[in-house]
Structure 1
Amino acid sequence: MPPDLGRNAIFTPGGPSDGTPVGDAEREAIASLGGYTYQVAAAALAWLDLPDGARLYLEVAEDYATLAEQVLSAVQVKDTAGSGSVTLNSENVRDAVNAFVGLVASNPGRQVLFRYFTTSAIGTERKIEDRPGGQPGLVYWRKAAAGADIAPLKAILLSDNYSEVVRKFVGARDDTALRRDLLQKIHWDCGKPDLAAGTTGRSWPRSLSNWRLLRRVGWPISLWFMC
């Protein structure tokens, strides 16, 4: 046994290393592992703030979801800043809208909320005709949810860029119902911190250590994480 290890040690460094093995760089899953780690960290924060009587589900309804008093809050977590910004034309965004519609259909009698949480910032669609009201689509989504004219955004959601399931969901609703049933139910939380830095520049481990203090002053961890 190496002299620097105690007899009761559980974990040891093993014997001398012959160097790091070399593999196919194209098959390395570093980015994927980073994405999974980010999802787990986000789910852990949600669990810390889970109210009494609520349940947290992992990989059942999206990356994680909470269920409390028949309100299903589903969250997709994407650590995709390295891939660039997101727009209404991004595959992940289209998939998120499709996933929300699917959750609504699969959970009758429940209010479904959907949150798309990503390190990617909101971008601007390349083609002018893909920008509702001439603005970045996800920015205009927020404005339409708050009362702006729905027509420019509705036209895009009814286009072939979105699945038939989404088009049917959108086409079956007038502007008031569409705002209530879709635009106000999906929240685009973009440009969020990565694992290297918290919202105040602190590392996540240090930020997590302050959780009890934040809760003591009545600041829910979910709001702190969303800032």
Structure 2
Amino acid sequence: MDQAVSSSALGAAGAAGMSPLHLFLNASFVVQLVMVGLVLCSIFVWAVIVEKFLLLRRVNQEASAFEDRFWSGGSLDDLYDSEGARPVHPMAAVFGAAMGEWRRSSRIAGIDVIHGGTSERIDRAIGITIARETDRLNRYVVLLATIGPVAPFVGLFGTVWGIMHAFSSIATMHNTNLAVVAPGISEALFATAIGLITAIPAYVAYNLISRAIDNFGDRMEGFGTEFAAILSRQSEERGGGKG
């Protein structure tokens, strides 16, 4: 019975010794710095993931609502005055850039017909706006692509340093008993575990978020192309009526 109690006590002590807090507190200073850095990176990764998820859901909902208003048959001038002049979401920004260029060109030319140069300026305004809005959506995403591949190697560095420190302690103590070796190695390997916990979400999130942003960029390009064609047709119709 005493042996069973002793085994239970050793098991409880071992479990306590394998807790993340115990592993961190007993690691060397360099390994602790690596762990803290990786934990901060992990917090940053999840903050970006949550922010981008909410942002992409919001801009897609706003784009759908705006497209409903755009295709409802209302006045484009009224829509521009209400949403395009001071856009608060990417799709309205694309609409505002095209409509604003069309209005400026019409006033300068004194006619409603879009000539080739005006059409090119509208296309350029749409392209610049899409690129700008895409860059805004991509903010911080590139850091996920950096953290994903680098974090495991940072954790591995902490592991190598910790194992070197553990073997140095073994050499000093002249004791190769597993009970002496295991804690130091466990603390060192914990750094690699944190590196993987940081890297995997970053790598997966980068791929998913990049694909979602690319899809939204294609959506803006499709809308911009359709709207430019509508402006061209309206100008041709007005020009034909005047002729």
TM over 0.5: no
TM (norm. structure 2) is 0.22
Q: Which has the higher contact order (CA 8 A, sep 6+)?
A: 2
- Higher strand fraction (1 or 2): 1
- Higher helix fraction (1 or 2): 2
Larger radius of gyration between Structure 1 and Structure 2:
2
TM (norm. structure 1) is 0.23
